[in-house]
Amino acid sequence: MLDDFFDATVLDAILAEFPGKDQIRWVRFDAPTEVKLATRDEEQIGRLTRCFLYFLNSKGFIEFLEELTGISGLVPDPHFEGGGLHQILPGGKLGVHADFNRHVRLKLDRRLNALVYLNKDWKEEYGGHLELWSRDMGRCVKKVLPVFNRMVIFSTTDFAYHGHPEPLTCPPDRSRRSLALYYYTNGRPQEELSGKHSTLFQLRPGERSRWKLRQVLKRLVPPIFLDVARWFLARGAKHHD
């Protein structure tokens, strides 16, 4: 967790052009496990924000991450798969989960997440904490308040459980805003190897499952079939527009 790592005037400008909930065509997630908005569409992202995202994928920043984490051979994602701009409105959340482990297009292993928070004057009672959970899902070991100019970097494995599971309680005119970047390598340590999978949501102690059929299918259906289904849905939406 790094505070005030970036020039605050740069993040001020990025926050100023961060789109509201109805200003762009957000990808909207509405499920028992996640209620949020996201976009990686560069045509909808402001110019300064695009430049900042490109910087986070640059040689200099990659070398910083390699030195910080000891993971060599990091590869950025020019497609921002699953990343880009994230926004959670009051009442929204993101259940505790382990991230998808392979990039569909690049065929690389996901190794690091970097999250940059853009929430000025964010109060503890607003919630929105990033929660990091133990490998056995027995306890939350760390809570991080998503305050302005705070960056969180952590490794992604099948047991790196994290999320924002409590519904957001900020005022109705506020939202939880962040930038998300993911980094990859060609291969990973033997002890972290597993078959390709999408997001793996977990239940916290005492939490009852409210998964709908689509969440069950997401865990049971091979990823290739889900990828094909998303492709057809995207084509249909584009044709409709």
What confidence category does residue 208 fall into, taking pLDDT thresholds of 50, 70 and 90? confident
Residues 14/69/75/9 CA torsion (nearest 10 deg): 10
Q: Provide the pLDDT for residue 234.
A: 55
Query: Rounded to an integer, what is the distance from CA 171 to the centroid of its chain?
Result: 23
What confidence category does residue 225 fall into, taking pLDDT thresholds of 50, 70 and 90? low
With a cut of 70, say whether residue 203 has pLDDT above it: yes
Distance (Å, whole) CA 201 – CA 77: 23
68-79: average pLDDT: 97
Q: Provide the pLDDT for residue 229.
A: 62
Nearest to 138 by CA among 184, 51, 203: 203
| Per-residue b or e along 20-41, where b marks 16 or more CB atoms closer than 10 Å to that residue's CB | eeeeeebeeeeeebbbbbbbbe
138-155: average pLDDT: 97
CATH class of this structure's domain 2-210: mainly beta
Residues whose CB falls within 8 Å of the CB of residue 205, separated by 6 or more in sequence, listed in order: 137, 138, 139
User: pLDDT tens digits, residue range 173-186?
Assistant: 999 999 999 999 99
| Domain boundaries of the chain, sorted by first residue | 2-210
Q: Provide the pLDDT for residue 111.
A: 97
Distance (Å, whole) CA 176 – CA 93: 10
With a cut of 50, say whether residue 237 has pLDDT above it: no
What confidence category does residue 241 fall into, taking pLDDT thresholds of 50, 70 and 90? low
1, 112, 223 from 66: Cα distances, Å: 16, 10, 30
Q: How much is the pTM?
A: 0.85
